[in-house]
Amino acid sequence: MGKVSQHFNRNEFACGCGCKFQAADVELLEILEKVREHFGKPIIVTSGCRCLKHNHEIGSKDTSQHVRGMAVDFKIKGISPQLIYDYIDSWHDRGLGIYDTFIHVDVKQTKKRRWDNRT
């Protein structure tokens, strides 16, 4: 469906089940562009938006911001999740989580939230 920002196409955010649900919040895209510019490397979206069915199948809650296109999980080849997390944490005022191999960022309209789900 085409470009949604300078470096991202809508299909990068498509639901992983193949249902063709695609959404990406504008503010979320601005965050990703800022991260890409800072590290100078492409971002690999590992999970963008999700339909409710797929969200249930992977064990996530209905309140997940992924079902609204307001969250993304991603990685950057050659950059540790910790470095990415530390950079975003220095300025992002909403949801941010770190996992073993990826970062979660969301733009849910609430207070600053942080979590560490590394094993």
Split into its structural domains, the chain has a count of: 1
Residue 118's pLDDT is 95
14-51: buried (b, 16+ CB within 10 Å) or exposed (e) per residue? bbbeeeebbbbbeebbebbeebbeeeeeebebebbbbb
Domain that holds residue 38: 10-108
Cβ contact 65:107 at 8 Å: yes
Asked if pLDDT for residue 1 goes beyond 60, the answer is: no
pLDDT tens, residue by residue, 53-106: 999 999 999 889 999 999 999 999 999 999 999 999 999 999 999 999 999 999
Residue 8's pLDDT is 95
Q: Is residue 16 part of a domain?
A: yes
What 3-state DSSP class applies to 83?
helix
- Looking up residue 45, the CATH number of its domain turns out to be 3.30.1380.10
pTM metric for this prediction: 0.93
